C-alpha cells in the first residue's frame, strides 16, 4: 500500500526571512537525501521522519560502501602481518586517522581511536586523572554535561578523593559564565565541559572558556560529540587540551570515535588498557609502551569502523560545512517559528547561538506518550532525560521530548512534527 505522503508536501514559503541567510533552495536537499537509503523507508505505514539525529545520525551510502569494500577486499589485522592485505588494511586505517586529524587541524599521532566520546573521556579521566589528580584537587564540570562527561569524573573523584565543582546553567540554558569564573578561583586541576549541548542546542564559547581555564592553571577536556557533526572543528583555535567526538553522530558507524590530545600530555600519560598493539617490548620483568597514539589502542582495533569514520568525515567536508550550517540555520529558524505557534508547548534552551536540537514539553502530556503517538505516524523523536539528569534537575524536569534535525532534514518534516503534536493534543485533550 502506498504510504500517505501528503504531510511531506512542500510547505508554503515563509515570508520575512533574512536574505543574507541561505535557504533550502541553496542546498540540494533531494540530492542530499538520495544518499541516505534509510530515509526512503516507511514506519507504521508512513514515510520515516527521522528527528533523532542528535542520538545517532544516519550513514550515507558511501560510508556503507566503504565499510563493505574493506571487508570484501582489504580485511586483515593491522600493524602486524608482513603480507599485502595487512599492509592495505593498515594503510586504510592510518589514512582514516590522517583524514580525521587533518579535519580538526591536528597531527595524526595526536588522534587516538576509541569506541566514541564516552570512551575518550574515560580514557582521560582514568589515565591523566590517575597520574595527576590527588585528594587535594578539584575537578570542575558543568551541570549541562552529558553523563559521559560527568560519571567518569565522579568515578575519578571516588578513586582519588578529589572534589567535584559543578558550574551552573542560566535559566536561558546557557553556561553561567560568572559561576565558571568563580569555579576557576578554586584553581581546579581539570575543567571539563561540552562544546554543544545535546538537550538545549546551546553552543558554548569554547575558546574563551579554554583561555580562562588555562590562565587559572587547569587543563581542559571538551566533549565535542554534538559540535563535530555541525561545524568544522579547529582544535588549535578552540584551544582545549583534549577534545572528544563520536563517528555515529556525524554520519559514520557506531562503536568508533576519537580522542584528540596535546602531544606532550599524551606522552606523559600511562596506558589506559594493556594488551597487544600498545607495547614496545614485553618481558617477564616488565613492559615498555609504544609511542602515541598506539599506546592507547590496546588489542585489535575497530578497523572497519575507523575506515568508515574517515569516509564520513570526507563526505561531510566535500558536501561542505558552510552549506550544511546555512541549511540547519534556516531549518532551526523555521522550527522555532512553528514551535512558537503551538499553544501549551514550552521550549528549553537559548533562541540564538544554538544548533538544530529542540527540547520541549507539551502541556502535561508525558514525553514518552508524545513520542509514542508520533512514532505511530512514522516520526522518530526522543523522550526522556537524554543522559542529562543533572541538567533536567536544574530545570525541575524529569525529562523532555527532543526533536533534532540534521543535514538531510526538511521543512516538511518540521511541519510533520507540528501536525503530529496537534494529533497528540487531540488524543490527550485540553490543548490546541
Q: Does 117 bind ligand PLP (CB under 6 A)?
A: yes
Is there binding between residue 226 and ligand PLP (CB under 6 A)? yes
- For 277, other C-beta atoms within 10 Å of its C-beta total 17
Applying CB under 6 A, which part among 15-23, 242-250, 270-278, 292-300 lies near ligand PLP? Answer: 242-250
For 409, counting Cβ atoms within 10 Å of its Cβ (0-12 exposed, 13-18 middle, 19+ buried), the class is: buried
Candidate ranges 40-48, 246-254, 281-289, 336-344; the one touching ligand PLP (CB under 6 A): 246-254
Among 106, 138, 144, 194, binds ligand PLP (CB under 6 A): 194
CA-closest candidate to residue 102, choices 320, 323, 315, 313: 313
Per CB under 6 A, does 204 bind ligand PLP? no
Residue 118 CB, nearest approach to ligand PLP (Å): 3
Residue 220 engages ligand PLP in binding (rule: CB under 6 A) = no
Work out whether 359 is an interface residue with ligand PLP (CB under 6 A).
no
Tell me the C-alpha distance between 121 and 117, whole Å: 6
Q: Determine how many CB atoms are found less than 10 A away from the CB of residue 198.
A: 27
How far is the C-alpha of 331 from the C-alpha of 413, rounded, in Å?
A: 10
* CB of residue 418 to ligand PLP, shortest distance in Å: 25
Q: Binding to ligand PLP by residue 223, rule CB under 6 A?
A: yes
Q: Considering the complex, state which of residue 198 and residue 409 has its C-beta at the smaller distance from ligand PLP.
A: 198
Q: Is residue 387 annotated as part of the catalytic site, yes or no?
A: yes
Q: How many angstroms separate the CA atoms of 159 and 218, rounded?
A: 20
Q: How far is the CB of 52 from ligand PLP (least distance, A)?
A: 11
90 binds ligand PLP (CB under 6 A): no
* Set of cell numbers at residue 389: 539528569
Reported residue count of the chain is: 432
Give CA–CA dist 258/247, Å, rounded. Answer: 8
Which is the catalytic residue, given 177, 387, 418, 423?
387
Residue 170's Cβ-side half-sphere holds a number of Cα atoms within 13 Å equal to: 12
Site for ligand PLP contains 225 (CB under 6 A): yes
Per CB under 6 A, 409 contacts ligand PLP: no
Is the CB of residue 337 less than 8 Å from the CB of residue 16?
no
Cα 69 to Cα 59, 97, 302, 403: the distances in Å are 15, 18, 15, 34
Q: List CB contacts of 24: < 8 A, sequence separation 6 or more.
A: 327, 330, 331, 410, 411
Is 116 near ligand PLP (CB under 6 A)? yes
CB of 196 to ligand PLP, least distance (A): 7
What is the secondary structure of 90-122 as a DSSP string? Answer: HHHHHHHHHHHHHHTT--GGGEEEESSHHHHHH
Q: Which three cell numbers stand for residue 60?
A: 550515507
- Contact segment (CB under 6 A) with ligand PLP among 4-12, 95-103, 243-251, 319-327 equals 243-251
Binding residue for ligand PLP (CB under 6 A) from 23, 148, 204, 210?
148
The residue among 123 and 425 lying less far from ligand PLP, judged by its C-beta, is 123
Q: Residue 279 CB: number of other CB atoms within 10 A?
A: 16
Question: Does the protein bind ligand PLP through residue 53 (CB under 6 A)?
Answer: no
Q: How far apart are the first and last CA of the chain?
A: 32
Q: Which is nearer to ligand PLP, 11 or 255 (CB)?
A: 255
CA proximity to 231, closest of 194, 280, 196: 196
Least spacing, CB of residue 248 vs ligand PLP, in Å: 6
Q: Which CB, 89 or 169, lies closer to ligand PLP?
A: 169
Select 118 or 302, whichever has its Cβ closest to ligand PLP.
118
The CB-of-180 to ligand PLP minimum distance in angstroms stands at: 18
* Residue 198 binds ligand PLP (CB under 6 A): yes
Which of 118, 127, 220, 361 lies at the binding interface for ligand PLP (CB under 6 A)? 118
Smallest separation (angstroms) from ligand PLP to the CB of 230: 11
Interaction between residue 174 and ligand PLP (CB under 6 A): no
Q: How many residues bind ligand PLP (CB under 6 A)?
A: 14
Q: Which of 210, 246, 361, 400 binds ligand PLP (CB under 6 A)?
A: 246
- Report the b/e string of 84-115 with b at 16+ CB within 10 A: eebebbbebbeebbebbbebbebeeebbbbbb
Q: For residues 399 and 209, what is the distance between their CA atoms, to the nearest angstrom?
A: 28
Residue 420 interacting with ligand PLP (CB under 6 A): no
Closest distance to ligand PLP from the beta carbon of 414 (Å): 21
Within residues 249-308, the interface with ligand PLP by CB under 6 A covers: 249, 257
**DSSP β-bridge partners for residue 264:** none
Q: Which residues bind ligand PLP (CB under 6 A)?
A: 116-118, 146, 148, 194, 198, 223, 225-226, 246, 248-249, 257
Tell me which residues are annotated as active site.
387
Amino acid at each position: 500500500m502506498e504510504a500517505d505522503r501528503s504531510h511531506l508536501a512542500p510547505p508554503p514559503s515563509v515570508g520575512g526571512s533574512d536574505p543574507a541567510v541561505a535557504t533550502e533552495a541553496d542546498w540540494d536537499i533531494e540530492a542530499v537525501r538520495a544518499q541516505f537509503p534509510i530515509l526512503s523507508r516507511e514506519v507504521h505505514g508512513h514515510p520515516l521522519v527521522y528527528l533523532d539525529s542528535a542520538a545517532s545520525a544516519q550513514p550515507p551510502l558511501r560510508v556503507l560502501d566503504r565499510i563493505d569494500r574493506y571487508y570484501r577486499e582489504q580485511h586483515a589485522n593491522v600493524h602486524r602481518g608482513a603480507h599485502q592485505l595487512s599492509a592495505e588494511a593498515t594503510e586504510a586505517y592510518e589514512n582514516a586517522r590522517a583524514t580525521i586529524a587533518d579535519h580538526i587541524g591536528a597531527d595524526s599521532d595526536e588522534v587516538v581511536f576509541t569506541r566514541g566520546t564516552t570512551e575518550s573521556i574515560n580514557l582521560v579521566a582514568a589515565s591523566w586523572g590517575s597520574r595527576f589528580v590527588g585528594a587535594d584537587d578539584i575537578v570542575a564540570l558543568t551541570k549541562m554535561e552529558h553523563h559521559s562527561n560527568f560519571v567518569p569524573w565522579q568515578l575519578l573523584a571516588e578513586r582519588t578523593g578529589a572534589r567535584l565543582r559543578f558550574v551552573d546553567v542560566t535559566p536561558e540554558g546557557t553556561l553561567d559564565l560568572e559561576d565558571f569564573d568563580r569555579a576557576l578561583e578554586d584553581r581546579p586541576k581539570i575543567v571539563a565541559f561540552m562544546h554543544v549541548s545535546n538537550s538545549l542546542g546551546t553552543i558554548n564559547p569554547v575558546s574563551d572558556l579554554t583561555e580562562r581555564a588555562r590562565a587559572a592553571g587547569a587543563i581542559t577536556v571538551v566533549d565535542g560529540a554534538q559540535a563535530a557533526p555541525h561545524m568544522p572543528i579547529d582544535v588549535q583555535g578552540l584551544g582545549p587540551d583534549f577534545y572528544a567526538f563520536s563517528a555515529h553522530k556525524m554520519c559514520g558507524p557506531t562503536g568508533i570515535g576519537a580522542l584528540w590530545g596535546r602531544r606532550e600530555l599524551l606522552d606523559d600519560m600511562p596506558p589506559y588498557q594493556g594488551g597487544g598493539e600498545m607495547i614496545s617490548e614485553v618481558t617477564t620483568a616488565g613492559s615498555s609502551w609504544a609511542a602515541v597514539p598506539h599506546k592507547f589502542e590496546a588489542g585489535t582495533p575497530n578497523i572497519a569502523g575507523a575506515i568508515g569514520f574517515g569516509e564520513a568525515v570526507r563526505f561531510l567536508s566535500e558536501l561542505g560545512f558552510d552549506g550544511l550550517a546555512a541549511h540547519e540555520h534556516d531549518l532551526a529558524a523555521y522550527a522555532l517559528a512553528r514551535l512558537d505557534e503551538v499553544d501549551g508547548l514550552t521550549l528549553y534552551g537559548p533562541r540564538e547561538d544554538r544548533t538544530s536540537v529542540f527540547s520541549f514539553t507539551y502541556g502535561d502530556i508525558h514525553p514518552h506518550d508524545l513520542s509514542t503517538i508520533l512514532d505511530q505516524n512514522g516520526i522518530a523523536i526522543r523522550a526522556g532525560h537524554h543522559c542529562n539528569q543533572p541538567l533536567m534537575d536544574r530545570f525541575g524536569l524529569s525529562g523532555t521530548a527532543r526533536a533534532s534535525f540534521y543535514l538531510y532534514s526538511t521543512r516538511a518534516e518540521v511541519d510533520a512534527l507540528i501536525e503530529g503534536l496537534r494529533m497528540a493534543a487531540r488524543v490527550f485533550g485540553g490543548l490546541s
